[in-house]
Amino acid sequence: MPSLTGPRAAVALSAMAVTLAMAVPLAAQDYAAGLLACRRQSDTMARLACYDALPAKAPGTVFRGTGSQVTPPFDLQAPTLLSFESMDAIMVVYLLDGTGAVVQNLHQAGAGTASYLIRHPGRYSLQVNASGGWRMSLEKP
């Protein structure tokens, strides 16, 4: 790939910045829209710069523990993927609404992972009954 120096480099970088500003949504929180905008770039350098400008995905909420526990309440504004991992023989998870009522009963038999899509916004908590260690995360689907 040829390198640009002097005025040509400044013009190329300015053009790339304008293209990039048009390609990446200002609130580039919407990864799908950002990726689609980058894919539409026909110029290779502009496309790569667009991908580089996308923000790193924000980490979701993570809960870890051993045995039986209830997580602190958390609020969801949109559908959210609950991923859960058991590190021992038995793990039962109750998704509780803001009043403490069971919304969904989930389980993982043996060590392994599973997931559940929480479809509705609201206040929730998780009651975990496990024979060993566990990990759960909440992330955008």
- Whether 133 has a pLDDT exceeding 80, the answer reads yes
122 contact partners, CB below 8 Å, separation of at least 6: 75, 76, 97, 98
Lowest-confidence pick of 3-12, 69-78, 108-117, 132-141: 3-12
Count of residues for the chain?
141
Look over the chain and give the mean of its residue pLDDT values, rounded to a whole number.
80
73 vs 55: CA distance, rounded Å? 28
Query: Residue 91's pLDDT is what?
Result: 95
Query: Residue 48's pLDDT is what?
Result: 86
Strand partners for 96: 102, 125
83 vs 136: CA distance, rounded Å? 5
CA 12 vs. chain centroid, Å, equals: 34
Tell me the pTM: 0.59
